[in-house]
Every structure is written in structure tokens, then in C-alpha cells.
Amino acid sequence: MTADLAGRVALVTGAAKRTGRGLALALARAGADVVVHYGRSQPEAESAVAEITSLGRRAWALSADLATPGEAERLIEAALRAVGRLDLLVNNVGNYPLGEPLDQTPDEFRATLETNLTAPYALIRAAVPALAASGMGHVINLGYAGVEHLVANPRAMAYQISKAGLLVLTRSLAQALGPRNIRVNMVSPGHLDNSVDLPEAIESHVPLGRPAQIDDVAGALLFLLSPAGAYITGANIEVAGGYRLSLADALT
């Protein structure tokens, strides 16, 4: 079964470039109208809107700095003013600072948590009335492969903390919002072919021998939105080709 999203509206955060853009386009191809959120990448966001429009769907580019308190709520308000409804929220934005664990200042650490964890919570909270009114509301959060192992990666400490928290948030809100017919799930990619830290010998890290492509991640997203995925909530689907299936993998 495939996802038929005709008549539905999705908001994808960080949808101007890379993974977010690919997911926004996949949703548009499945029939959804798409709100393209961006931070500072206005030309890329406008290009994404043009590409979605060329597919026969409606699209809007809206800016918000999700590291700033209050901006998440403003984004939802702006989306509802522009479109009038919201059926799907995809929390794709993920600040990914790399370095030694004490190199970040407290403000930088706080900003990572604000963008990756607090903002998704605020977005979901603000979107609940619209998602409930939809009758088929769905939130999909983006994690990372291995998020359930809880094996520390000191060089990505703040990111890892934020995404582990996002998994707990996903499962907590799946329980809280299920009675309102809102599903909450997580999709966790492994190494993507556009990853900033893609290993050179990918076959030594990934049993399937290649990095993930956007279509692989989009496929999991669309499965959750299809009739076959309609009874799934609180799940974390890893799209990683077998990466980090063992503790030894998790430590590399």
C-alpha cells in the first residue's frame, strides 16, 4: 500500500536543503501540500517551493529560528494562517555540532538542546489543536541510528543527548496524544550519502554496504503515512542498512 496524501498539509522543518528538502519533495509527490520551514536559507527554500509547485502541489516558505524561544509557536501560527490546516509535522531540523565534550559553551550547548529537543516539543504542543482537528494527525521526529543504545559519543554529546530526549518525547506523546487520534513516531537514519561525517570505507560500517539515500528515509516516512502504517505509534524505525546493530558497531 502506498501513501495517498492528497488534500493533506505537511510542515517540514529544515526543508530548504538536504534531508528535509528530500522529505518535503517526497511528501509532495505523494499528494501533500507542504510548508517549507527554513532558518537562513531563503533562496533554497524558495527553490524548494518552486519545485513542489511544479509537481502540482501548493507550497509555502516560512522562516523561524528554532533556537529562539517562542519561534516554534510563531511558526505554527504562521503556517495555520497561510494554509488553514495541518495534518503532518515532520521535525527534521537537527543542530549537529562536533567537538570535544567541554568545547561547547553553556549557551552553545543550550542552543543545541533548544533546536533539537525543546523546539520539537513546542512545535508539537502548538500544533495539537490542528492535528486533532485533522482526524489523521501525525508527528514524525527524525532521530539517528543507535539512539536506543545509549552508548556515548563524546564528540557529538549535545546532539546525542537531544536526540535521546526526542525518543523519550516521541514515546511519551504517542501515549498522551493517541486518544486524540494523533500518532507520534520517529525515523532514525544511519549514514546518509550526504552526511557531513560519512566514513570512507562505508562497507566496514554498514552491513548492506552503502549509505542511505533520501529515498530510503522517505520510504519509511511514507510507510508510516500509508494504510499499512496506520496502527503504528510510538515506534522508532531505523533506516541504517544494519549500522550499529551490535555494541561493537555502536562504539565505532
CA separation (Å) from 30 to 88, 96, 153, 225, 240? Answer: 13, 29, 36, 10, 23
Amino acid occupying residue 27:
L
E strand spans, the chain: 9-12, 33-38, 59-63, 88-91, 138-142, 183-189, 236-239
Q: What does the DSSP 8-state code read for residue 62?
A: E
Structure-block grid coordinates of residue 57: 502541489
- Which entry of 38, 144, 159, 243 is annotated as an active-site residue? 159
Task: Answer yes or no: 243 catalytic.
Answer: no
- Helices 157-177 and 106-113 pack at an angle, to 10 degrees, of 30
Residues with a known catalytic role: 159
